[in-house]
Amino acid sequence: MKILIIEDERKLARFIRQGLEQVGHVADLAYSGSEGLDQLAGGLYDLVLLDLMLPGQTGFDVLKNMRAFGLNVPVVIVSALGDSPTVVQGLDLGAVDYLRKPFDFDELLARVRVWQRKTTTGDAVILRAADLEMRLTSREVLRNDTKLDLTNREFALLELLMRQAGRVVTRTEIAEKVWAVDYDRGSNVIDVHMYQLRRKLDAAAPASHPDLIETLIGQGYRLRTV
């Protein structure tokens, strides 16, 4: 999942991001409510982890503005304010869960997994395209029964291509769904990761098998379905 962390305690925010990325998520940081809203308006996120005591706009203001702007991303409040009226107010404003600080990081990951399961309800737990198989729960990828060793970014990139198999996925879509909000659109980071992903896919395929990922100049990339 791509997760936005809105937290003004920078050390804590970086700690949460590191932990999320270690288990395969992509995470962006915002250190104020206004910055968080700007990133939500310009990016595609699956979940928001939101502090309440933020400079400028509070977490409550963020929730109100998300509703006003039609931003329907699930929000888990992570706050030291744990009295019942505050919890009730946060949930009434649209948050889907509430985690009190200080928290056990394994509990935070468990809350994230709950919403990961909810966002994939109705989706296949296993994705298949051509001779590829992606097992979302165990985060395994196989080609011709050979397990591929992919980085978190490569896994997210391949998942996006497999979910859109047969359709052109633009670089803008890739940047929004797989990369952080500060992605430099003038860099070649997508090309580098695509090259590494292709290399790993090719290593598990017969020499005669065509490249599964097509590059369409000026358009984007497409995963072959046969």
* Cβ burial 1-27 (10 Å sphere, 16+ → b, else e): bbbbbbbbeeeebeebbebbeeebbbb
More reliable by pLDDT, 69 or 42? 69
User: Alpha-carbon distance 143 to 163, whole Å?
Assistant: 16
Percentage of the chain exceeding pLDDT 90: 39
Mean pLDDT of 19-27: 84
CATH for 126-223 is: 1.10.10.10
User: Alpha-carbon distance 2 to 166, whole Å?
Assistant: 23
Residue 192 DSSP label? H
Q: What is the pLDDT confidence band of residue 197, given thresholds at 50, 70 and 90?
A: very high
Mean pLDDT of 29-55: 90
Mean pLDDT of 137-161: 87
User: Alpha-carbon distance 36 to 64, whole Å?
Assistant: 13
**Residue 97 CA to its chain's centroid (Å):** 18
Q: What is the pLDDT confidence band of residue 136, given thresholds at 50, 70 and 90?
A: confident
Residues of the chain with CATH 1.10.10.10: 126-223
Decide if pLDDT at 175 tops 80: yes
pLDDT digits (tens, 9 = 90+) for 77-92: 999 998 999 999 999 9
Mean pLDDT of 98-120: 85
Decide if pLDDT at 106 tops 70: yes
Q: What is the pLDDT confidence band of residue 142, given thresholds at 50, 70 and 90?
A: very high
Q: What is the pLDDT of residue 181?
A: 56
More reliable by pLDDT, 6 or 224? 6
Mean pLDDT of the chain: 86
Q: What is the pLDDT of residue 186?
A: 67
Residues of the chain with CATH 3.40.50.2300: 2-119
CATH ID of 2-119, from 3.90.1640.30, 3.60.15.10, 3.90.76.10, 3.40.50.2300: 3.40.50.2300
| Structural tokens at position 63 | 């929730």
